[in-house]
Amino acid sequence: MARWYELTISMDDETWLVTSPDFPEITTFGETQPEACENGLRAIEEAIAARISDGEDIPLPLQETSGKGRFVEVPALTFLKCGLYMVCRGKGISRAELARRLDVHREQVDRLFRLDHNSKLGSIEKAFKAVGVDLDIAIDVDIPTAA
């Protein structure tokens, strides 16, 4: 799963200033570079939540990092919620229509799009199926075979 967004970090007086080319609305800072990256990730999540709330597009995350620059990885649940939002938006499926397809109350669907709600993977998987999308989750690790 590609979940990377780029950060631009520069020294500004005694703090590290953080922006993102994908989210021009964010500016944050940190006393150290790791703190700046952590704050950058939180700012990106807030920007994504605001864009979902406002019905705006969300930039697609990078498939791979170039190794140059700074990148943050959004949590898998955030990535899945963004994906569901973008698929519904692209197919013109409203939250009310998704609720009808899932045979649930609208509030249950609204929670699927709230990044601060810890939705269950099964609920998200059902929602993707209801909009005609199968999830393909990969684990990028070599698993040793038993001898």
What is the reported pLDDT for 42?
96
User: Which range (17-31, 89-103, 132-146) has the least confidence?
Assistant: 132-146
* Tens of pLDDT, residues 25-84: 999 999 999 999 999 999 999 999 999 999 999 998 876 666 677 889 999 999 999 999
| Average pLDDT of the residues in 15-20 | 95
Mean pLDDT across the chain: 91
What is the domain partition of the chain in residue ranges? 4-73, 76-130
| Average pLDDT of the residues in 11-23 | 92
Q: What is the DSSP letter of 105?
A: -
Q: Which fold has domain 4-73?
A: Double Stranded RNA Binding Domain (3.30.160)
Rounded distance between C-alpha atoms, residue 125 and residue 93, angstroms: 16
User: Which range (77-81, 132-136, 141-145) has the least confidence?
Assistant: 141-145
* DSSP characters over 40-102: HHHHHHHHHHHHHHHT---PPPBSS--SSSEEEE--HHHHHHHHHHHHHHHHT--HHHHHHHH
What is the reported pLDDT for 65?
64
CA 28 to chain centroid, in Å, comes to: 18
Q: How confident is residue 1, by pLDDT bands cut at 50, 70 and 90?
A: low
